[in-house]
Amino acid sequence: MPPLKLLISPNAFKGSVSSLEASRLFLDAFSGWASEQQIPAEIKCLPVADGGDDTLCVLADASKRQGRAIERHTSPVMGPIEQLQVNADWLYLPAEKTVIIEAARIHGMAILQASGLPLEPLGATSYGVGELIRQVIKEKQPETLVLALGGSASTDGGLGALQALGVSLLDTSEKLLPKPFCPRFFEGLSAIDLPVGTEGFGFQGLKRLLIATDTVNPLLGKRGTAYTFAPQKGASPEQCDWLELQLEKTAIILSRAFATDYQDAVGAGAAGGLGYGLLHLPNAQIISGFQWLSESLGLEAALKDCDVLLTGEGCFDATSLTGKAVGELLAMAEANGKPVILLCGAIEQKIRQTLPASVFTIALNDYVSTDQAILYPQASIQQAIAKNATTLLRWFRSDGFAD
């Protein structure tokens, strides 16, 4: 019998393990399972991201395997709140003259949580993202700058980042609003003044500004950033209503100043509207973070070469199907006729019921508590596989992968 070709491509299990760590845990668990079931297997690991957390780690890992030259750098910038400074990692690919920034490393929710600080839905800012953009362009003078968005703590519509890049935010008296801009200052915003031309932003030589998003949501509406993502950042229902109104006003102000209309752009709602704000910069365009990374990783070729895909993340729910890595992987697997093992910390039941029979689901919280799954991911994964060993083998046999 030819060996089973298994492709392991998990995303991060937020609050527990990175995508690289999840890949190693999956490898250990399924290598043991294949050995116990006497199934010869060839296993390839290709951890994934989608522009959110772990984007830099995944890209650096793949570049190392591919033998591509890559430089790692760290720069001090403002974190998600003014009083918190961070040392933000970023990458430079010298052959491509490309800089990659992961916004979550600057103003991510995980930074506040790791610092023992509460989420601040009205006090968090994207100002540090603008600071780092300015620094890397000055230092490396790249032709391409990729901004991976996702996991942000802020819902400021990208105004903090624009402010750091030289955009003047004005009140009704034409006085400058305080730095750094955060949602608390929305009500005072009346107009903006722009730097003059590309030179005003200091983007000379930058040919492409790629905004890699992990979602397809627009800026406004029930699928927009205030109602879909602000609750994850600690916003109450009343604050979500207020943020929606302020972002509507902000969209009018920016549209007038830049002579644009991007509020309905796919992905404009990413990272608390940061995608929307950055889209106004010279040579900027929004792209799918997953598709961009997929091409960099050679993911589709690896998928076509495998028999079964094993993927997962911390929580698979409705938002997983809005441009995020695991949802996109499921669609790619279905398009290529590949069965999938979906192993997650939790799987939303109504979403689980809509998945095709070619997807075998395992939710850790069916066997252990959520807290235990987060604290002890290796033991939890091994326990879940052991509980599913017989059923999983039967599923494999039904697809002709084991005799």
The closest alpha carbon to 126, from 98, 152, 93, 101, belongs to 152
Q: Which of 124, 139, 74 has the alpha carbon at shortest distance from 274?
A: 124
pTM higher than 0.75 for the full model? yes
Could you give the CA distance from residue 307 to residue 168 in angstroms, rounded to a whole number? 55
Report which of 277, 244, 327, 21 is spatially closest to residue 149, judged by C-alpha positions. Answer: 277
pLDDT at 199: 57
Helices (H), strands (E): how many in the chain? 16, 15
Q: How many CB atoms within 10 Å of residue 174?
A: 10
**DSSP output for 220-276:** SSTTSHHHHTGGGGT--HHHHHHHHHHHHHHHHHHHHHHT---TTSTTTTHHHHHHH
CA 136, 93, 125, 276 dihedral sign is positive
C-alpha–C-alpha distance, residues 180 and 98, integer Å: 28
Q: H-helix or E-strand containing 87?
A: strand 85-93
Rounded CA separation 338/336 (Å): 6
Cβ 82 vs Cβ 180: under 8 Å: yes
Helix-helix angle 19-36:377-398, to 10 degrees: 50
Q: Mean pLDDT, consecutive 10-residue segments, the chain of 403 residues? A: 89 90 95 88 91 84 84 96 96 94 93 93 97 95 94 96 95 95 97 72 89 92 95 96 98 93 93 95 92 90 95 92 90 95 95 92 94 93 92 79 57
User: Can you list the alpha helix ranges (DSSP code H) found in 48-108?
Assistant: 55-66, 104-107
Q: How far is CA 130 from CA 136, 180, 269, 303, 359, in A?
A: 10, 11, 17, 36, 41
* pLDDT value, residue 198: 45
**What local confidence, expressed as pLDDT, does residue 133 receive?**
97
| Closest-CA residue to 164 (of 134, 124, 136, 186) | 134
Query: Which of 318, 97, 106 is closest to 229 using CA atoms?
Result: 318
**Side-chain-facing half-sphere of 240: CA atoms under 13 Å:** 18
- Which is nearest to 293 in space by CA: 129, 158, 150, 89? 150
CB atoms within 10 A of CB 340: 24
In degrees and rounded to multiples of 5, residue 37 shows phi and psi of -90, 0
Q: Do 22 and 119 touch, CB atoms closer than 8 A?
A: no
Helix or strand or coil: residue 115? coil
